[in-house]
Amino acid sequence: MKYSILAASLAASAVASPSHNHHHHHHHAKKEAAKVEKRAANVVTTVVVGPTATQYVLDGKPVDPAAAKAGLAQGEYVIVGETQPTYVPPPPPPPAPSSTSGDMKAQFIEEAVSTAPASTSTSIPPPPPATSAKPSTSQAAPKSSAPAQQPSGGTGLTANFPSGKIPCSQFPSDYGAVALDWLGTEGWSGIQYVPGYTLASTVINEIITAVSGQGCKPNAMCSYACPAGYQKTQWPQAQGSTLESIGGLYCNADGMLELTRPSHPTLCQQGAGGVTVQNDLDDSVCTCRTDYPGIESMVIPACANGGASIPITNPVESDYYVWDGKQTSAQYYVNKKGYSAGDACVWNSAKDPKGAGNWAPVNLGVGKTADGTTWLSIFQNLPTSTALLDFNIEITGDVSSKCSYINGVWTGGSNGCTTSMPSGGSAIVRYF
């Protein structure tokens, strides 16, 4: 049966203080339905969540909700994405005020769909996330206590990458990149085909996201993972014409990999440091970062076995990706215990379709701002997921306020909390 691609958009309004504006944008990837994408955003001080409404879109045109629901029920449509902004409330003021008052950082996440949303909306209950042509009725598989198996590789972290000298068919593991073999994209964390791109491009109008079984080939941006505690350095200055993020090395017309930020000749770099995940559980836990800028799927693993610690990247926002004129931070997905990287660091998890990957229970945001402050947020992955974490979290160390999720209860807010760490400090995101 031939299925039509249907996008479901659940829009929410947010009101911020006049000094910090947050604008929501929906992204359009042409010619192929890309996965739903996630986006970080900027600083706000006061947030009010407004009503939500569901919109259905087919080929860029609105679809009557009743017709959409009937088509879904008959298997004629496939939902490929949802736009569902969520937030964590700003934390209380820091205990020691400075001469210049600082605004608390709220971690926003925006999911973008592969089709522009309709201009009008109708209030109906949102459909469940679709992982296949027909809704899944299978239950999550039993959890395993096997080691998390953090992917190996990433040698040559300090070696300069020989731009234009390595074929696109050769994954650059000798220059710091870590292959994510479970994704089926030849080790790359994400691939975006950009047939109209040139070095002179200021925007990129055509973006086609690769799927499993496809690889890095001419006229593609090929994104990659780095070892835990490191992040990629490469993304082109030109970005999507409707504000899609694009990242990675460029596979040129000759089939050779080129740097997209020659000012950063190594493929991976550390951030500000100072942030560690400490897993005090008996089982492994995977904390999965979004491939950003890029396809923005949560595939970059930081998997800690029981009793182990692992660094997570704390981007220095002044030397990190700028989206629509705004500095951005790192976004992570905290999965349930006992899941491997292949179970957790994916968009759709076969092991737990409604409780892992994009539907992991909890999000974590980390980033260091220009004043030297590192902001850390943990918050429920609402409304995307109703899954609950099967362990506790607390952020300890040199932090300004208590931030935790213990026995299903959040400190600092009903669905999450945010705290800060001064320059030179250290923070532990503890699982127990």
Q: End-to-end CA distance of the chain, in Å?
A: 47
**With a threshold of 0.95, does the pTM exceed it?**
no
- Using the predicted structure, report yes or no on whether residue 148 has a pLDDT greater than 90: no
The CB density around residue 98, as the number of other CB atoms within 10 Å, is 9
At 13, the amino acid letter reads S
**Encoded tokens for 146:** 């096997």
At 237, the amino acid letter reads Q
What is the average pLDDT across 294-299?
98
Contact 243, 25 (CB under 8 A): yes
**Residue 129 three-state SS:** coil
Q: Which residues contact 158 (CB under 8 A, 6 or more apart)?
A: 266
What is the average pLDDT across 69-73?
59
- Using the predicted structure, report yes or no on whether residue 309 has a pLDDT greater than 60: yes
Domains of the chain are 1-13+48-84 (no CATH), 150-269 (no CATH), 271-431 (2.60.110.10)
- Using the predicted structure, report yes or no on whether residue 150 has a pLDDT greater than 90: no
**Encoded tokens for 166:** 């390595």
- Residue 67: φ, ψ to 5°: -65, -40
3 state SS for 260-310: CCCCCCCCEEECCCCEEEEECCCCCEEEEEECCCCCCCEEEEEEECCCCEE
Q: Given this model, what pLDDT does residue 428 score? A: 98
